[in-house]
């Protein structure tokens, strides 16, 4: 009996001491639940026992620490309502004016200016702008840090932006100006007013950027579990012997196998330990690109874009004073949680950090959300693919209205579609096509976009669904006639079909040309396929792209092959949101290029959807008897490969340069109905007319 009492007393004392130690020395504790408030400062994510963390597949957001007030904020009592006049943005929304550079500037500030001027918020008039941006260069001498700005007004409605540490930022009289600074210290950062930027390398690309390096979600055998950032810029990988710690001299001396890569820019490990010193902020971006989970050791700088990005889903913050406990916790993290963090790290890199243009556009989008108030992006759009830059708030702020979130929301698009038939300059009324589409089971309306030189017919055929004729935009173009002077003509723009027409009442659009030829069964089956893949394009005719070694560039062809990467919009289903994205997100230069050459419009829409989804289109069966709809042979196809391609028609390379990379993804998949061409009775097949004219 006494032995039993002695054991019980010993267990009680041990449990008490364990509770006291956990309370006094928390390694990585779970924060109390708190609802995020707009404009409120957000704390760093704190990560605890891996078993208490939520899975990536669960819809609930991870919990955060409560807000920590800054110790010595610059600008005194400056906050959004006091130092920024949002009423100046109510007329035409956020309009941004950037002060031109004075004198020679380095490459990075030049990229910043180019990115701002290419933004949809840019205006060339300072009078109509509600936000004025001053870009500071790290090369500016300290004696020239006070430029004369006639619209300064004490810094109100101004943003001082610096992607690299600039001496001027320390001595510049900021007044009421916001600051967008790379890796600001936590004691000077003003949450909800300033914007924390990432620390970019000098050679960071203007647009596009390198893709993430994560090739396999599960760690490969022999790959190091942990990489440690070193002061000289490299990474040091550490083996699995956790009796040693790579950053604290108090650990045991048996450090296990190590590999030093002083020239390596990206680590090859599962976790990347990054000390909390400010110069190590550059390693943070390298870890994101490599798909290596950043483990920040007592950081002293603000995470980039912490106002909108939920870093608890992609990074870990640990106490550098408890190295052995941290290493043990990382080793015990479940593989499902490791996969979730690595996936999110790759998404954030690609969506917001892979180029200077994305960093600048994200900064402007954050300020736009502040101005919009209730119309701002919800957290789901910021922290789920494809990201807030590609989910425009001018279209909607509800995730269910976009084609990307139906799986997460457990919903499906509306069960009907709108047929948009484009009649070009020399087109004729597509009477037979209208009858075939109107007979489709899920057709809600037919819209005829009339861009022909001829006037539309006064009467149209009777249909079971509403039919509306829209007036297509036509631009006035000058032409020269020898010995007869000059004249003008009206030319239709090929990109007219992709304008966000208010008459479109459904999520799904069936884009057609006047010369297209489809049967009712083909339309019904293609729409059923699209409902399962609403974020993709579903079409009948396909093109494929290829790399031409002889020409040193990209080419594309309409020849039938075993793989494809584009579907023709002359007969394709897609979500109506892509009309808004095409009009308001693409650079004007790319849309102009598409208008000059009709095949380029097909390429540009496929580029856009592939860049957003990172997925190929879907091909459905198309009857071989539709000879009049055969795709034309385009520049770059094998038959024309030996001939020089005209510069005006070589649009695929110009578009790849405009996107910064080649977004098209090839596929070898075609979806057919069940029993398609099976040797069974035709009466048993649902889409019978797919196999016969």
Lowest-pLDDT range of 55-64, 106-115, 313-322, 549-558? 55-64
Total Cβ atoms within 10 A of residue 213: 16
Phi, psi at residue 583, to the nearest 5°?
-80, -40
pLDDT above 70 (res 291): yes
The order of strands in the sheet holding 235-238 is: 258-261, 235-238, 224-229, 269-275, 293-297, 316-318
Produce one character per residue of 145-159: b if its CB has 16 or more CB atoms within 10 Å, e if not: beeeeeebeebbbbb
pLDDT above 50 (res 615): yes
Q: Specify the pLDDT at position 493.
A: 72
Alpha carbons 361 and 54: distance in angstroms, whole number = 31
Residues linked to residue 181 through DSSP beta bridges, in sequence order: 162, 196
> Could you tell me the sign of the dihedral formed by the alpha carbons of 88, 89, 91, 96, in that order?
positive
Per-residue confidence band for 250, with pLDDT thresholds at 50, 70 and 90: very low
pLDDT above 90 (res 684): no
Alpha carbons 14 and 20: distance in angstroms, whole number = 10
CB 111 within 8 A of CB 227: no
Candidate ranges 213-222, 266-275, 462-471; pick with highest mean pLDDT: 462-471
How is the chain split into domains, by residue range?
Answer: 80-206+358-375, 417-659
Alpha carbons 293 and 635: distance in angstroms, whole number = 44
Q: Specify the pLDDT at position 626.
A: 53
Per-residue confidence band for 323, with pLDDT thresholds at 50, 70 and 90: confident
Q: Specify the pLDDT at position 467.
A: 94
pLDDT above 90 (res 66): no
Give residue 487's region: left, alpha or beta (phi > 0; psi -120 to 50): beta
Q: Specify the pLDDT at position 359.
A: 96
Instruction: State how far the alpha carbon of 568 is from the alpha carbons of 201, 557, 632, in Å.
Output: 40, 12, 11
Q: Report how far apart the first and last C-alpha atoms of the chain are (Å, whole number).
A: 93
> Could you tell me the sign of the dihedral formed by the alpha carbons of 124, 128, 130, 132, in that order?
positive
Mean pLDDT throughout 186-213? 88
Per-residue confidence band for 241, with pLDDT thresholds at 50, 70 and 90: low
Q: Specify the pLDDT at position 260.
A: 43
Task: Give the pTM.
Answer: 0.81
What CATH number is given for 417-659 in this structure? 3.90.550.10
* Neighbouring residues of 287: CB distance < 8 A, sequence distance ≥ 6: 267, 272, 274, 293, 294, 345
Per-residue confidence band for 362, with pLDDT thresholds at 50, 70 and 90: very high
Where is pLDDT greater, at 639 or 88? 88
Mean pLDDT throughout 44-51? 35
Q: Specify the pLDDT at position 81.
A: 66
Where is pLDDT greater, at 495 or 193? 193
- Nearest-Å Rg of the Cα atoms of the chain is 29
Q: Specify the pLDDT at position 50.
A: 33
Task: Give percent of the chain above pLDDT 70.
Answer: 72
* Neighbouring residues of 253: CB distance < 8 A, sequence distance ≥ 6: 244
CB 518 within 8 A of CB 512: yes
Lowest-pLDDT range of 244-248, 522-526, 613-617? 244-248
Where is pLDDT greater, at 364 or 589? 364
Local structure of residue 667 (DSSP, 8 states): B
> Could you tell me the sign of the dihedral formed by the alpha carbons of 357, 359, 360, 361, in that order?
positive
The order of strands in the sheet holding 195-197 is: 96-98, 131-135, 158-162, 178-182, 195-197
Q: Specify the pLDDT at position 227.
A: 82
User: Which among 261, 268, 288 has a CA at the least distance from the CA of 199?
Assistant: 288
> Could you tell me the sign of the dihedral formed by the alpha carbons of 636, 640, 641, 647, in that order?
negative
Q: Which two tokens stand for residue 472?
A: 């297509």
Where is pLDDT greater, at 74 or 623? 623
pLDDT above 50 (res 640): no
């Amino acid at each position: 009996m006494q032995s039993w009492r002695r054991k019980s007393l010993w267990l009680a004392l041990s449990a008490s001491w364990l509770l006291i130690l956990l309370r006094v020395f928390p390694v990585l504790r779970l924060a109390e639940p708190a609802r995020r408030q707009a404009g409120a400062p957000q704390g760093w994510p704190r990560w605890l026992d891996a078993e208490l963390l939520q899975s990536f597949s669960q819809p609930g957001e991870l919990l955060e620490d409560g807000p920590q007030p800054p110790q010595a904020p610059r600008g005194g009592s400056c906050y959004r309502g006091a130092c920024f006049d949002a009423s100046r943005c109510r007329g035409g929304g956020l309009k941004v004016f950037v002060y031109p550079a004075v004198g020679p500037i380095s490459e990075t500030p030049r990229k910043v200016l180019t990115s701002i001027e290419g933004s949809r918020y840019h205006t060339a008039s300072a009078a109509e702008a509600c936000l004025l941006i001053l870009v500071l260069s790290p090369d500016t001498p300290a004696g020239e840090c006070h430029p004369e700005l006639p619209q300064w007004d004490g810094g109100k409605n101004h943003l001082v932006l610096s992607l690299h540490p600039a001496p001027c930022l320390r001595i510049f009289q900021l007044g009421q100006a916001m600051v967008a600074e790379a890796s600001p210290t936590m004691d000077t950062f003003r949450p909800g007013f300033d914007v924390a930027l990432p620390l970019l390398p000098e050679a960071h690309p203007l647009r596009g950027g390198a893709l993430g390096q994560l090739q396999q979600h599960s760690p490969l055998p022999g790959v190091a579990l942990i990489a440690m950032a070193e002061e000289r810029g490299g990474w040091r990988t550490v083996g699995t012997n956790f009796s040693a710690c790579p950053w604290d001299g108090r650990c045991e001396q048996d450090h296990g196998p190590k590999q030093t890569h002083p020239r390596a820019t990206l680590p090859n490990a599962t976790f990347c330990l990054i000390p909390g010193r400010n110069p190590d902020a550059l390693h943070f971006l390298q870890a994101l690109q490599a798909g290596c989970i950043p483990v920040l050791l007592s950081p002293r700088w603000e995470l980039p874009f912490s106002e909108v990005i939920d870093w608890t889903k992609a990074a870990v913050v640990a106490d550098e004073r408890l190295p052995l406990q941290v290493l043990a916790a990382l080793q015990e993290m479940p593989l499902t949680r490791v996969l979730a963090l690595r996936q999110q790290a790759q998404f954030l890199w690609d969506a917001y950090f892979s180029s200077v243009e994305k960093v600048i556009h994200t900064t402007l989008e954050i300020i736009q959300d502040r101005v919009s108030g209730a119309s701002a992006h919800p957290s789901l759009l910021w922290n789920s693919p494809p990201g807030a830059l590609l989910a425009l708030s001018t279209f909607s702020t509800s995730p269910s209205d976009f084609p990307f979130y139906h799986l997460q929301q457990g919903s499906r698009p509306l069960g009907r579609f709108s047929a948009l038939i484009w009649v070009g300059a020399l087109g004729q009324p597509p009477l037979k096509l209208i009858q075939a589409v109107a007979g489709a089971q899920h057709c809600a309306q037919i819209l005829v976009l009339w861009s022909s030189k001829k006037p539309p017919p006064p009467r149209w055929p009777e249909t079971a669904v509403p039919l509306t004729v829209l007036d297509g935009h036509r631009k006035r173009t000058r032409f020269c006639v020898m010995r007869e002077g000059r004249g003008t003509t009206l030319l239709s723009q090929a990109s007219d079909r992709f304008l966000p027409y208010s008459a479109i009442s459904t999520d799904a659009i069936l884009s057609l040309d006047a010369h297209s030829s489809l049967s009712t069964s083909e339309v019904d089956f293609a729409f059923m396929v699209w409902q399962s893949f609403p974020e993709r394009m579903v079409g009948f005719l396909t093109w494929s792209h290829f790399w031409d070694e002889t020409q040193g560039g990209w080419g594309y062809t309409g020849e039938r092959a075993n793989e494809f990467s584009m579907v023709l919009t002359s007969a394709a289903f897609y979500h109506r949101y892509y009309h808004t994205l095409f009009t308001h997100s693409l650079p004007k230069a790319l849309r102009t290029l598409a208008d000059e050459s009709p095949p380029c419009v097909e390429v540009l829409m496929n580029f856009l959807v592939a860049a957003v989804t990172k997925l190929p289109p879907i091909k459905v069966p198309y009857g071989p008897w539709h000879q009049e709809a055969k795709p034309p042979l385009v520049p770059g196809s094998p038959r024309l490969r030996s001939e020089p391609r005209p510069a005006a028609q070589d649009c695929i390379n110009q578009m790849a340069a405009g996107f910064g990379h080649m977004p098209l993804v090839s596929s070898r998949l075609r979806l057919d109905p069940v029993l398609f061409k099976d040797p069974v009775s035709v009466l048993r097949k649902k889409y019978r007319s797919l196999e016969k004219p």
